[in-house]
């Protein structure tokens, strides 16, 4: 079947090429699915929609794999796709839902992760701390500190100059340091 189609259209890939491509895609999925999921989640995608959104990102990857140039970092590229898919998903979600969720969804802890009450509290404290940051600063901060991406990768993912990314990171770090010591000075945080 593929051979026939290939005969009529010589630009179509051969069976071997297809196989190699699907294996490469599977590998990308395996390595980066959790990163994509987390990123979408931080962009405010509702937990119920995360599965759809993650799949959508990888369908875009499947369509555009040839346009991805090796010089760019895979995670930067994926994050840029996440931003586009995320904003589309949020738009359609807000149209679909009847009730508007004013508050960001409560931190949902998976039942399989037996997290102690203490740790859950400190996680919520961490969330509150991150929420004090303006959105752009928070994005850069989380990508740098939590996801361990480089400044250049972050700048590429967000489509901004490195200096901008660095300035946001700097401001966010200052603020987090203040918040951290505030929590530690008077409580038993972390």
Partner 1 sequence: MKTRTTRTSRRKPVSEPARLSQQDAALERAWLALQDSQAPSSAELERMRQRLSIVFESPAPQSGALLRLARGPAGKLLASVVVVASAIAVLRVPPPRAARDVSMPEQPLVAAAPRETSISAITSQVEQLPTPAPREVVHVPASEEAAHAATHNVKPRRTDVHTHAAPRVTEPTLARAAVEERTAVARALRAEMPTDAAPSVPGAVAATTRAASEPLVNAATPPLDEATLLEGARRLAASDPDASLRLLAEHKRRFRHGMLGPEREVLAIELLRSLSRKEEASVRLQEFRREYPGSVYSTRLRH
Tell me the window of 53-61, 73-81, 93-101, 131-139 that interacts with partner 1 (CB under 8 A): 53-61
DSSP conformational letter for 67: G
Local structure of 113: helix, strand or coil: coil
Q: How many helices (H) and strands (E) does the chain have?
A: 8, 0
How far is it, in rounded angstroms, from Cα 83 to Cα 78? 9
Binding status of residue 109 toward partner 1 by CB under 8 A: yes
| Shortest Å distance, C-beta 98 to partner 1 | 25
Q: Give the residue with the Cβ less far from partner 1, 26 or 101.
A: 26
**Applying CB under 8 A, does 140 fall inside the site for partner 1?**
no
Nearest CB to partner 1, comparing residues 33 and 46: 33
Contact between 180 and partner 1 by CB under 8 A: the answer reads yes
Cβ 45 vs Cβ 12: under 8 Å: no
d(CA 163, CA 135): 17
d(CA 93, CA 149): 29
Interface with partner 1 (CB under 8 A), residue from 43, 82, 157, 169: 169
List the one residue out of 178, 171, 149 whose CA is nearest residue 74: 149
Q: State the residues that interact with partner 1 by CB under 8 A.
A: 2, 11-13, 18, 21-22, 25-26, 29-30, 33-34, 37-38, 41-42, 50-51, 54-55, 58-59, 62-67, 107-110, 112-113, 115, 119, 122-123, 126-127, 144-146, 148, 150-152, 161-163, 165-166, 169-170, 173, 176-178, 180-182, 184-186, 190
């Amino acid at each position: 079947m593929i051979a026939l189609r290939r005969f009529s259209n010589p630009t179509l890939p051969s069976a071997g090429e297809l196989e190699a491509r699907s294996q490469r895609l599977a590998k990308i999925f395996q390595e980066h699915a959790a990163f994509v999921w987390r990123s979408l989640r931080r962009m405010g995608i509702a937990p119920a929609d995360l599965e759809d959104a993650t799949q959508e990102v990888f369908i875009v990857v499947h369509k555009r794999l040839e346009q991805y140039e090796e010089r760019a970092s895979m995670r930067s590229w994926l994050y840029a796709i996440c931003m586009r898919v995320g904003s589309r998903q949020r738009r359609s979600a807000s149209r679909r839902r009847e009730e508007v969720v004013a508050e960001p969804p409560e931190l949902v802890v998976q039942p399989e992760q037996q997290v102690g009450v203490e740790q859950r509290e400190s996680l919520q404290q961490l969330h509150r701390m991150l929420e004090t940051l303006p959105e752009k600063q928070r994005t850069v901060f989380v990508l740098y500190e939590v996801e361990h991406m480089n400044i250049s990768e972050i700048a590429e993912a967000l489509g901004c100059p490195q200096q901008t990314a660095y300035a946001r990171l700097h401001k966010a770090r200052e603020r987090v340091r203040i918040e951290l010591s505030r929590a530690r000075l008077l409580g038993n945080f972390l």
